[in-house]
Amino acid sequence: MTGKLEGKVAIITGASAGIGEATALALAAEGAKVVLAARRGDRLDALAQRIASSGGSALSIITDVTDETQVKNLVQKTNAEFERIDILVNNAGVAFVGAIDGANTSDWRRMIDINVLGLLYATHAVLPILKAQGTGHIVNISSVAGRTAREGISVYNATKWGVNGFSEALRKEVCKHNIRVTIIEPGLVNTEINDHITDPIAKQRSEERRRLIAPLESEDVAAAIVYAVTQPQRVNVNEILIRPTQQEW
Ligand code: NDP
């Protein structure tokens, strides 16, 4: 397999479904060795086999991004296996949306743990390796919700706003080390993210909203990520905002 990412090593969190799965396939198709991280090991293994059967290279490492030790293990195992890390796609995320009043606050903690702290742990764990290499690329999956607030998704908004703020500060800290940082902000994408919403009213509203327009497919977002990570080293695509054509909000 030859491609623009031949010889590169990419870690993708949340690779067991949706955008992460599509990104792993797309990066592998460009020749990257991909390391697949998520909690559902059976799905990671099935994806790794799929990639291997098309001539690619994939390693699955069960990882809960809310556990800093597991995240460190993911990074250390990757570096031990491939002796480098070129790309980290911080994609694992959940959207336990719903009104603030009456919310189950454990949903908020889970969302902040996964969407924000998980991304911070992975970034923290890879940085010494990227700095020592003098190169690397961190791709943080934010959302339209990282720049447009809506009633009913407030804490998801807060997590993605957090991702955007962190990413821009990170870029300023690491650009002098030749490390790139990209924020990807998708609108509605056709994935299983909605299935995990715990608030039944919010889930129904979200499903109705999704029926109004033709959403993006995960492959559309993966293509944006491939675009960002295949630019020449001098080019840092800072931000990609990508909405379905019919999405007005
Ligand atoms: P999916 O629900 O399809 O996939 C989510 C992925 O995150 C799964 O692989 C899941 O794996 C993983 N994940 C969840 N919790 C954890 C955890 N604790 N540790 C490790 N992995 C975890 O969602 P999407 O593909 O839609 O979402 C991917 C990203 O895109 C998220 O950050 C989301 O916020 C963002 N996004 C999604 C949009 C959409 O409309 N779908 C729009 C804008 C942004 P597992 O359960 O196996 O651990």
Please determine, for residue 134, whether its predicted confidence score (pLDDT) is greater than 60.
Answer: yes
Q: Which of 156, 183, 202, 225 is catalytic?
A: 156
Is residue 156 annotated as a catalytic residue, yes or no?
A: yes
Rounded CA-CA distance 240/249 in Å is 16
Q: What is the mean pLDDT of residues 82-86?
A: 98
Q: What is the pLDDT of residue 224?
A: 98
Contacts of residues 107-111 at CB distance under 8 Å and 24 or more positions apart, as own/partner, are 107/155, 107/198, 107/199, 108/155, 110/66, 111/155, 111/156, 111/159
Distance (Å) from CA 53 to ligand 1 centroid: 25
Q: What is the pLDDT of residue 2?
A: 75
Lowest mean pLDDT among 17-26, 118-127, 185-194, 203-212: 203-212
> Which option is the CATH number for 9-236: 3.30.70.1400, 3.30.930.10, 3.20.20.60, 3.40.50.720?
3.40.50.720
- Ligand 1 atom closest to Cα of 64? 19
Strand ranges across the sheet with 136-141: 57-62, 33-38, 9-13, 87-90, 136-141, 179-186, 239-242
Give which of 89, 84, 90 is closest to 120, Cα–Cα: 90
pLDDT tens per residue, range 140-172 = 999 999 999 999 999 999 999 999 999 999 999
Q: What is the mean pLDDT of residues 197-214?
A: 92
Q: What is the pLDDT of residue 209?
A: 87
Residue 31: CB atoms within 10 A of its CB come to 17
Nearest protein CA to atom 17 of ligand 1, as residue: 64
Q: What is the mean pLDDT of residues 41-60?
A: 98
